[in-house]
């Protein structure tokens, strides 16, 4: 069992890279479909390969090329915030939950040979597939078990841009982007991303040539 610098990592729906922030000097391919967000990610992680495309399709076509996969599909359609606050009090129309989340979990579970993690928020409904572990405000599905660990709650509903920048370690003061607060709120806490990476990215087969 080992982890090596040369392992290839796929970071799907990369956002700003909150989950990736503390992974250090590793070989990461990041997939993000929003050009503005992808550009900011690239500035923060200049050595990562950033591809602007649909992560769901990319995962399907390229999953075999990686040693570790992290996927963070959009959470809005699953979140209790949208259902309980937006729909109930703000007049937002309800939407279908985006079941590509479960497509990815099932796909990776039955086809991926590498270690993988799919992350999402705790949904407003009983999850269709039971998560493998729960940390902070997130549900995780994975082929690895990750030890429990306490992380401070994010309080992201109240937090404003300066608090969020500090919490996640992204200074966006010179950056022009629509809905900066939301982009920051999407981040996984870097310490949490590291904890999972440390435990879940260990390669099963130490004979791999790249290591
Ligand atoms: C929940 S955020 C990811 C947060 C990230 N894991 C972090 O810790 O910073 C989801 C990201 O996926 C992007 N996104 C949404 N749909 C996408 C798609 N089909 N393909 C690629 N990226 C997508 C959004 O623009 C958003 O930045």
* Contact (Cβ atoms closer than 8 angstroms) between residue 144 and residue 199: yes
pTM (predicted TM-score)? 0.93
Q: pLDDT class for 1, splitting at 50, 70, 90? A: very low
Least Cα distance to 73 among 15, 23, 151 occurs for 15
The residue to mutate among 21, 74, 165, 184, having the most atoms of ligand 1 within 8 angstroms of its beta carbon, is: 74
| Helix (H/G/I), strand (E/B), else coil: 134 | strand
Least Cα distance to 141 among 56, 58, 70 occurs for 70
**DSSP alpha helix (H) spans, the chain:** 35-44, 55-62, 80-81, 88-89, 100-111, 161-168, 180-185, 190-200
Instruction: Give the closest residue (by CA) to ligand 1 atom 14.
Output: 13
Please provide the distance, in angstroms rounded to a whole number, between the alpha carbons at the two ends of the chain: 11
Distance (Å) from CA 107 to ligand 1 centroid: 19
* Contact (Cβ atoms closer than 8 angstroms) between residue 158 and residue 141: no
Predicted local distance difference test score (pLDDT) of residue 155: 73
pLDDT digits (tens, 9 = 90+) for 48-68: 999 999 999 999 999 999 999
Of all atoms in ligand 1, which is nearest to the CA of residue 183?
27
Span of 9-13, 89-93, 106-110, 121-125 with lowest mean pLDDT? 89-93
Distance (Å) from CA 32 to ligand 1 centroid: 6
């Amino acid at each position: 069992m080992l982890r090596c610098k040369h392992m290839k990592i796929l970071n799907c729906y990369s956002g700003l890279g909150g989950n990736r922030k503390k992974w250090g000097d590793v070989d990461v391919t990041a997939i993000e479909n929003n050009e503005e967000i992808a550009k900011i990610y690239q500035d923060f992680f200049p050595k990562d390969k950033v591809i602007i495309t649909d992560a769901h399709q990319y995962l399907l076509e390229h999953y075999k090329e990686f040693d570790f996969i992290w996927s963070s599909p959009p959470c809005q359609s699953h979140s209790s915030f949208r259902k309980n606050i937006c729909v109930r009090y703000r007049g937002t129309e309800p939407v279908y939950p985006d079941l590509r989340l479960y497509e990815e979990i099932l796909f990776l579970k039955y086809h991926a040979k590498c270690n993988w993690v799919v992350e999402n928020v705790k949904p407003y409904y009983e999850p269709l597939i039971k998560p493998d572990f729960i940390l902070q405000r997130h549900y995780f599905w994975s082929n690895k078990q990750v030890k429990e660990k306490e992380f401070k709650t994010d309080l992201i509903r109240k937090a404003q841009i300066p608090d969020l920048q500090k919490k996640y370690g992204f200074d966006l003061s010179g950056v022009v982007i629509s809905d900066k607060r939301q982009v920051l709120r999407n981040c996984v806490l870097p310490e949490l991303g590291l904890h999972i990476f440390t435990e879940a990215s260990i390669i099963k087969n130490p004979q791999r040539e790249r290591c």
